[in-house]
Each structure stands twice: as structure tokens, then as C-alpha cells.
Amino acid sequence: MTTKREQRKSRRTSSRDEGAAEATEDRDEAAGGADDDEPRAVDEPDDDAVVAEIVETDEAIAADDLGGARETLEPGLPRVARSSSTSLAAFDPMAAYMREVQRFSLLTRDEEIRLSVKYLETGDVDAAATLVTSNLRLVVKIAYEYRRAYRNLMDLVQEGNIGLMQAVKKYDPFRGVKFSSYAALWIRAYILRFILNNWRLVKLGTTQVQRKLFYNLNKEKARLASMGIEPTAEAVAKQLGVPEKEVTDMEGRLAGREVSLDAPAGGPDDSRAPRVELLPAPRADVDELLAREEEGAIYRAKIAEFGEKLGGKDRIIFYERLVAEEPRTLQDIGDQFGVSRERVRQLEKRLQDKLRRFLEAEVGAP
């Protein structure tokens, strides 16, 4: 008597044998019926082919990932630029600049003197470039001192680099001064000039006194306050050696803010008119314009009357030199009269004096 397990096993074995027989018959029919005209059903995709295709796709994706990892591990290889829209980390230009600056080594004192002498005597550009690149860290250090005065630190570094190049041109190694100490003065000067010129749209300091106050006014007021002295305009002016009025003007400039003339003026009536339309006109009023026009007409009439009374050389000089739109030269008139240009100048000066006395007598002092 067979058990249930043996019965199930026998049924599975018989099913496999029947399936194998049917598969063999199907293959024989497919091989033998290639020339039949009857349509055949579309073959279902082979499992092995599908698996192979999936493996190939995974290998391609893995190759792309490996390529990205290879670019990271091998920085010498060219990298494909990625879109900034998919970047996860913000780009810091200052950090990138510092990485580039650190590639250049510092110079020893002997190397610095040798390169400075070489550039001074031969004008070697490579020596100057080495002096500049080896001191780029100094520019960044000085620029950091003024980061509170100007937000864009890279602008300060760029201006400081220009000052560094100027220091290389002017440096004299035979004076016994270290190049970094000398270059710091030029770097600082260029950075300060840049801050002054870009502090406001309207320049605050255009004279030497104004620039001195721009740099030292607040510091001097703080110093006086720390000493227990009231930092009045008179006290600051005395300490800095500048006029008191200049101190007052600079305090007002630093305390004030820029106002656009095209911005709405506002006010109680909520006016939207720009400020420029509310400014007084630069021209004079109507009464003054009429008075000037009448006065000019009187002078023109008297000058014409004076010219009618002239004759000879004075008449020619008057009409062709004094009142002409395109006056003739002294040499040209001198050649016409057969005299020197100096003699014509004397005649012209005498005629001008006569005209001045005539107008004073007829109209009054102009």
C-alpha cells in the first residue's frame, strides 16, 4: 500500500515526463514546419535573454558610477562639467582661490633678493611673476582686515594684487627693506583707494583732507572718547590738523545716505512724483531773464554805434577781429597792412580800451 507522499511524487514525475514530451514535439514541429505557409504564433521572450539584457544594463550603470568615482579619485583626468542646477554644494570662490594660492611656495630671503635684483637689472618677467605669486597670501591677509568695510572680499583681493604688482615694479632691493614690508604699503594703499571710490555712488573724498578724514575721523573720535575728551569737531580738527568745517562736512556725509532723484517723493498727499521734479529749476526767474535780455540789446546797439564811427585800420580790426565769429589771425591782418603781428596786437589793444571807455560813458560800467 502506497503512502500519500509517494502518490504525490509519482504524479509530479509523470507531469514532468508529459511536459518534456510535449516540448520535444513542439521543437520538432517548429524545425520541420519552417516551409509551411501557416502563420506561427510570436515566440515569448527567452528568460536567459532577459536576464542577459538586465545584466548588461546594470553593468552600464555601474560603469557610469565607476567613471564618476574615477574622476574623484584621479583628479588629473579631465572631468565632465556638471549642471549647476544639480549641484548639492555651493561654490565658494574665496576657498577656491586660496587653494590655488597655496600651490605657490614662499620664498626665502636670499631667493627674494636674487629675484628682485634680477628683475631690477634685466626686467625679467618670470622673476617678477615669482615675486608676485609667492606673496599672494599677504594680499589675502591684508584684505581680511577690511572685510567689515567692504562686503566683497574678492574685490579687495583683486585690488590688493594690483598693488602687489606695483610694488614689484617700484621695489629697490638695495635699500635693505624686506619686500613683504614694502609691498604691504602698496597693497593697503590700493585697497583703501578702492574702498573710498566704491563706498558710495557719490564719492565722499576727492581731496587730500577729505580722504584723511574718511580714513581717520571715526578712529580719532573713538580715541578721544576713550581718553575722556568730548570728540567735538573742533577737537578732532585740532588733532588731525584739518579745518573744522571739513570735519563737520565729512560727518554729515558719513551720516547721510544716498537718495535716488527718480524715487517717489512721498509726503502728506502721497505724491508719486519723483524728487527730481520738485527741485528748483537752475535757470533764473522771468524778471531776471527779461532784464538780462534788455541789457544785452542795449550793449549790442552801442557796440554797433561804436563800430560805425571807426575808419581805416581800426575799422578792419574791429569787424574782422573783435566782433567776427571767425576772427582773422594777427599775422594775416599784419600782412594786409604791411606791418608786424605785434603792431596789429598793439592796435587791437588800443581799440579795446577805446571801446571800454565808450561803453562806460554811454551805458555805465558793465
Dihedral Cα 273, 278, 283, 289, nearest 10 deg: 90
Q: What are all long-range contacts of 59-62, with beta carbons under 8 Å and residues at least 24 apart?
A: none
pLDDT tens digits in sequence order for the chain, 366 residues long: 445 555 555 555 554 455 544 444 444 444 444 444 433 333 434 444 433 443 343 444 334 433 443 343 334 333 444 444 555 567 788 889 989 988 999 999 899 999 999 999 998 999 999 999 999 999 999 999 888 877 788 999 999 999 999 999 999 999 888 999 999 999 999 998 888 888 776 666 677 788 788 778 888 888 888 988 888 888 888 888 888 888 888 887 777 776 777 777 765 555 677 777 777 766 667 777 788 888 888 888 888 888 888 888 888 888 888 888 888 898 988 888 889 989 989 989 999 999 888 888 887 755
Q: For 70-126, write each residue's pLDDT tens digit.
A: 343 334 333 444 444 555 567 788 889 989 988 999 999 899 999 999 999 998 999
Contact 220, 230 (CB under 8 A): no
C-alpha cell at 79: 572631468
- Cβ(343)–Cβ(334) below 8 Å: yes
349-357 — which CB contacts under 8 Å span 24+ positions? Answer: 351/310, 351/314, 351/317, 351/318, 351/322, 352/322, 355/303, 355/306, 355/322
CB-count exposure of residue 108 (10 Å: 0-12, 13-18, 19+): exposed
- Give kind and range of the element (H or E) at residue 303: helix 286-308
Q: Nearest CA to 277 among 293, 266, 292?
A: 266
Reported as a single tens digit per residue, the pLDDT across 283-306 is: 667 777 788 888 888 888 888 888
What local confidence, expressed as pLDDT, does residue 272 receive? 72
3-state DSSP helix/strand/coil % of the chain, to nearest 5: 70, 0, 30
Report angle CA 35, 37, 39 to the nearest 5 degrees: 115
- The whole-angstrom distance between residue 111's C-alpha and the CA centroid of its chain comes to 35
Which regions of 131-220 does DSSP assign to beta strands (E)? none
Q: Are 355 and 299 in contact (CB under 8 A)?
A: no
Cell of 330: 594777427
| Per-residue burial over 214-240, b = 16 or more CB atoms within 10 Å of its CB, e = otherwise | beebeebbeebeeeeeebebebbbebb
- Count of other CB atoms within 10 angstroms of residue 292: 11
The secondary structure of 101-123 as a DSSP string is: HTTSPPPPHHHHHHHHHHHHHH-
The answer to whether 245 and 236 are in contact (CB under 8 A) is no
Using a cut of 0.85, tell me whether the model's pTM lies above it: no
Give the whole-angstrom CA distance, residue 340 versus residue 77. Answer: 84
What local confidence, expressed as pLDDT, does residue 312 receive?
A: 86
Q: Identify the pLDDT of residue 363.
A: 79
State residue 148's pLDDT score.
Answer: 81
Distance CA 87, CA 95 (A): 17
State the pLDDT at residue 119: 93
Residue 38 CA to residue 34 CA, distance in Å, equals: 10
Q: How many other CB atoms are found less than 10 A from the CB of residue 64?
A: 10
